[in-house]
A and B are shown apart, each in its own frame.
Chain A
């Protein structure tokens, strides 16, 4: 079977991916989806770019002090100006989630704190039943390539990461954060490629 990249990009252009959090996972995942031709991203984050973020997040030194959502939108436009990027610059509450992400075909969970991950998963699974969510969990430190995996819980819940290392015990570093972010993007594409567009 011969598949051209342009055909894949044409197909992906019909879909919308939500990204909750624009840190190490969210920014790198967004860039991979932009390069792959996904049509629309909905990105939520409340933070500004800090110098310490540059060790792993997809931002540049001249963007320090900017809101991450705005900086990421600029960076995406420099790569794929055809991508539609909708940004929400706020800290999400459980009640916001069904509203913000209802038009998404898939949601990528890219929050920092485990409590926020839990809140998002619960809100999506109860407020947006049937909507697939791809969780990132376990990406701290370095090495141990073989422990990073992608796991399908069911049709609506997937997890990428090692599910054991935690930021706090170990620092987040570019390679493992990037691996998990790109696994999330890779899985989002796999799911979208099976969807028919209207």
Chain B
């Protein structure tokens, strides 16, 4: 499947993957982030149960301490 991840096209060898699987496959190591799929915010406790499907628009924002 192909998805859009932060405005760039990405290909995964699967029909759908969970948010957690995507984070593992992409080796995203940041501790805290905000993820939106097709404009809908996915809360942290839904990372395992939420599936990313072909054509989805996934947006991530990294949260770094400091303010």
Give A residues with C-beta under 8 Å from B. Answer: 21, 23-26, 109-115, 117-118, 121-122, 125-126, 135-140, 151, 153-154, 157, 159, 161-168, 172, 177
B58 to chain A, nearest CB (A): 11
Contact call B36/A138, Cβ cutoff below 8 A: no
Which bracket fits the contact residues of B? 10 to 19
Say whether B21 faces chain A, with CB atoms less than 8 Å apart.
no
Contact call A137/B41, Cβ cutoff below 8 A: no
Hey, which chain B residues are within 8 Å of A113, CB to CB?
65, 67
* CB-contact partner of A159 in B32, B39, B61, B66, under 8 A: B61
Hey, which chain A residues are within 8 Å of B62, CB to CB?
137-138, 163-164
Rounded to whole angstroms, the CA-CA distance of A129 and B63 in the bound complex is: 20
Contact call A139/B61, Cβ cutoff below 8 A: no
Rounded to whole angstroms, the CA-CA distance of A172 and B34 in the bound complex is: 22
Contact call A172/B66, Cβ cutoff below 8 A: yes
* CB-contact partner of B43 in A21, A110, A122, under 8 A: A122
Contact call A114/B32, Cβ cutoff below 8 A: yes
* CB-contact partner of B66 in A138, A151, A153, A154, under 8 A: A138
Contact call B41/A122, Cβ cutoff below 8 A: yes
Contact call A164/B64, Cβ cutoff below 8 A: yes
Complex interface bits, B16-38 against A, C-beta within 8 A gives 1, otherwise 0: 00000000000000011010100
Rounded to whole angstroms, the CA-CA distance of A154 and B32 in the bound complex is: 19
Rounded to whole angstroms, the CA-CA distance of A122 and B63 in the bound complex is: 12
Hey, which chain B residues are within 8 Å of A117, CB to CB?
32, 63, 67
Rounded to whole angstroms, the CA-CA distance of A172 and B66 in the bound complex is: 7
B7 to chain A, nearest CB (A): 10
Q: Knowing that A139-B66, A154-B39 are A-B contacts, what are 16 other residue pairs whose CB atoms are under 8 Å apart, sorted by A's residue number?
A: A25-B67, A109-B67, A112-B66, A113-B67, A117-B32, A117-B67, A118-B44, A121-B63, A122-B43, A137-B62, A139-B64, A151-B61, A153-B61, A157-B36, A166-B65, A167-B64
Residue in chain B with minimal CB distance to A165: B64
Contact call A139/B59, Cβ cutoff below 8 A: no
Instruction: Offer 21 A-B interface pairs, CB within 8 angstroms, sorted by A.
Output: A23-B67, A24-B66, A109-B67, A111-B67, A114-B64, A114-B65, A115-B32, A118-B63, A121-B34, A121-B63, A126-B41, A136-B66, A136-B67, A138-B66, A139-B64, A139-B67, A162-B64, A166-B64, A166-B66, A172-B66, A177-B66
Hey, which chain B residues are within 8 Å of A172, CB to CB?
66
